[in-house]
Amino acid sequence: MNTSEIERLLDKYYEGLTTSEEEFLLKEFFQGEKIPSHLKIHADQFLYFKKAMTEEIRDPLFEQKFFEKVGAASVLKLKSNRTRFYYLSGIAAGILLLFGVIFSVRDFINDDKRIADSGNMDAEMAFATTCDVLSVVSVNFNKGMDKIQYLGQFEKAMFKTQLLSKFYQYENLIINPDPLTGRSIKSDKQ
């Protein structure tokens, strides 16, 4: 496998986009003997993974001791805030939709019972009542949809913060210059 292909796979690996087959190719490459000098800094990582796979935990209570030391609170913090936000906003939206339908249809159900009790309901009256009920539901649904547009503004703001996070891609070049050339972005500007 050529070095350009390995460098491309390494970029994908550090971004978390590799498949298990591509990771296997990287492990095999770095366990070999012909590793170019500019890629040797990555070899230690893959050799560590190979060594760690062969280690065994002899203590059967290891997990229990580990979680006691770490604590349950820190295990819950592993879930990202974004995922938690999406779950909670989905639940809240579902509850709001349910209440909207219940309150908008409640009065019309009572009206329908009164009309049905009268026994004089014909097809035109049923059609008119159904149209009234559906128009009220539609109006209330549209009001709810107007509020959802605020989520679009939130999404735009999140996109802008993601653009800001691209700055951190170059942070490594500024703080830690390339070990082969000894150059960084700072030294290029001077």
Report DSSP letters for 116-161, one per residue: HHHS---HHHHHHHHHHHHHHHHHHHHHHHHHHHHHHHHHHHHHHH
Judged against a pLDDT cut of 50, whether residue 4 lies above it is answered with yes
Identity at 147, one-letter amino acid code = K
Q: Which residue has the tokens 């049905």?
A: 116
Report pLDDT for 189. Answer: 47
pLDDT in tens, 153-185: 778 888 877 776 766 666 666 666 666 665 655
Report the percentage of the chain scoring pLDDT > 70: 74
Return all residues near 144 (Cβ < 8 A) that are at least 6 apart. Answer: 96, 97, 100
Classify residue 119 as left (phi > 0), alpha (psi -120 to 50) or beta: left
> How far apart are the two ends of the chain, measured CA to CA in Å?
38
Return all residues near 57 (Cβ < 8 A) that are at least 6 apart. Answer: none
Report pLDDT for 190. Answer: 43
Report pLDDT for 80. Answer: 66
Report pLDDT for 77. Answer: 52
Report pLDDT for 75. Answer: 47
Dihedral sign for Cα atoms in the order 80, 78, 41, 168: positive
With cut-offs at 50, 70 and 90, classify the pLDDT of residue 95. Answer: very high
Tokens of 185: 């972005």
Report pLDDT for 22. Answer: 87
Identity at 120, one-letter amino acid code = N
More confident residue, 21 or 177: 21
Tokens of 176: 């830690």
**What is the dihedral angle through the alpha carbons of 82, 85, 86, 88, rounded to the nearest 10 degrees?**
160
With cut-offs at 50, 70 and 90, classify the pLDDT of residue 46. Answer: confident
**61-70, 145-154, 177-186: which range is least confident on average?**
177-186
Within a 13 Å sphere around the CA of 15, how many CA atoms are in the beta-carbon half? 10
Report pLDDT for 118. Answer: 56
Q: Which residue has the tokens 């219940």?
A: 102
pLDDT in tens, 102-145: 887 777 777 666 655 555 557 777 788 888 888 888 887 777 77
Report the percentage of the chain scoring pLDDT > 90: 2
Identity at 107, one-letter amino acid code = D
Q: What CA–CA distance (Å, rounded) separates 2 from 103?
A: 67
- Average pLDDT value for the chain: 75
